[in-house]
Amino acid sequence: MRVAVIDVGSNTVRLHVSRGGSLLYRDKEMLRLGESVEQFGAIPEAKLAETAACVAAFTQQARRLGVGLIEVLVTSPGRQAENGAELIDRLAAASGAPVTLLSSVEEGRLGFLGAASATRGPSRRLLAVCDVGGGSAQIAVGTRRDGPAWVRSIDIGSMRLTSRLLTDDPPGDVAVQAARAEVDRMLEGVVPPLPESAFAIGGSARALRSILGARLGPEELHEATLILARSPAAEIVDLYGIDPERVATLAAGAVILEAICERLGGVPLRVVRGGVREGAASELASTLAAA
């Protein structure tokens, strides 16, 4: 049976359609809900309407593809916006499907499951999964056999950090240093178990792979922050072929990933495709199979 997950995040709204763990179709729209939340504290009416229309269109597309079960997931915009409950109601009406507001811990858990399903390794090896989104970042540590045993979230992501401190193009070394200090403040007291291997998921990590390759260690991530601090966005687009809309928040994503990587003992982060949507789709498929 085909299942679909519509993921409403701070930067993007994404559609993921799969069957038996295999991706069949995906789509996305860059709506930047997190930017509105950072600026206004709430999601303006025009942005609510745009998001509802996007989710309605994705729902219709999923049904045209023969999807048997659809779930809409809302992450940090629903948690952080003053009118998060209104967002949930509008999306439920637009989609006619269940809408779930994920807690930060649940978001980290699903990200871990999705990343673990996309990789191979010993079932008892301790691994970490780092997911930097637009409005928040999650760190989950556990094993493939038992799932995540330790999950933490910080209330800052690439979009929020950019809106707060990195608005210039290029942002410059001083602004990037201030951003790093802000992230370190948010991570104060966060001491994860040290893993044997670590993975990075999310749009920032995938974009950084275009600059650094699939291995994001502390040195590589520091190099990326320097490049992004000093290079105009147009130059990054030309050199590395990264989506211009993603480049706008990439310096912030690199700063957050570097800080988290250091707290994981410097274990290099390997960029993988699986994440929250894959984890949620796997659980939807299991629900259908058990019905």
Distance CA 73, CA 53 (A): 15
Kindly give the parts of the chain with pLDDT less than 50: none
Give the chain's domains with CATH numbers. 2-104 (3.30.420.40), 119-271 (3.30.420.150)
User: What is the predicted pLDDT for the residue at 214?
Assistant: 85
If we measure between CA atoms, which residue out of 164, 170, 201, 169 comes closest to residue 183? 164
Distance CA 234, CA 211 (A): 14
User: What is the predicted pLDDT for the residue at 168?
Assistant: 96
Q: How far is CA 238 from CA 226, 228, 231, 261, in A?
A: 17, 13, 11, 28
